[in-house]
Amino acid sequence: MLLLLLLLLLLLPLLSHFFPMLSSALTCTQGAIRIVGTTGYSGRLEVCNDNQWGTVCDDFFSTFSATVACRQLGFNPAGSRVLSSRSTPNGRGTIWLDNVRCNGNETTIFNCPKNLLGNHNCNHGEDVGVTCNRGKVLYNLLTQPSP
């Protein structure tokens, strides 16, 4: 019996490799955000909700909102810019945020005035991006690497 248990314990990592549900695989941390792009500091903005990465609509998304996103990602907020939806490659999945209207002082993008999560009138052609100051500062733990 004990041997069987040991065997199962040894096999579990292998099993969960083939059946990710077994380890209740975490895709992303609730409330985390990321920039999807080749440079790491400029690209499509994505946010994590309900264990899924999703995108942000460009409606009302201003420099103030870009500033909040960049600060949340641990960048120096100075010089944060909106990357227009025209310049941002379309994302996939759920559009989590719409009508984001930060005043610039919020600590996370989720604290900004916005629609309820997933409540939007957008399409992925309206996915917004940000360009952050390349300088990173070390005061944020919610940063997750881009794929």
Q: How far is the CB of 11 from Ca ion (least distance, A)?
A: 49
Closer of 37 and 46 to Ca ion (Cβ): 46
Helix (H, G, I), strand (E, B) or coil at 60: coil
Q: Quickly count: other Cβ atoms within 10 Å of residue 50's Cβ.
A: 12
Residue from the set 99, 108, 140, 144 that interacts with Ca ion by CB under 5 A: 99
Q: Which position has the token pair 């733990």? A: 141
Closer of 59 and 127 to Ca ion (Cβ): 59
Of 100, 107, 144, 145, which is closest to residue 122 (Cα–Cα)?
100
Residue from the set 28, 34, 58, 59 that interacts with Ca ion by CB under 5 A: 59
User: Going residue by residue from 14 to 43, which x/- string records binding to Ca ion, judged by CB under 5 A?
Assistant: ------------------------------
**98 near Ca ion, judged by CB under 5 A:** yes
Helices then strands, counting H and E runs in the chain, come out as: 2, 6
Q: How far is the CB of 57 from Ca ion (least distance, A)?
A: 6
Cα dihedral 14, 15, 17, 21, rounded to 10, equals -160
**126 near Ca ion, judged by CB under 5 A:** no
HSE (side-chain half, CA atoms, 13 Å) at 47: 25
Closer of 29 and 121 to Ca ion (Cβ): 121
Closer of 61 and 75 to Ca ion (Cβ): 61
Closer of 51 and 121 to Ca ion (Cβ): 121
* Gap between the Cα atoms of 42 and 134, Å rounded: 9
Which parts of this chain interact with Ca ion (CB under 5 A)?
A: 59, 98-99, 121
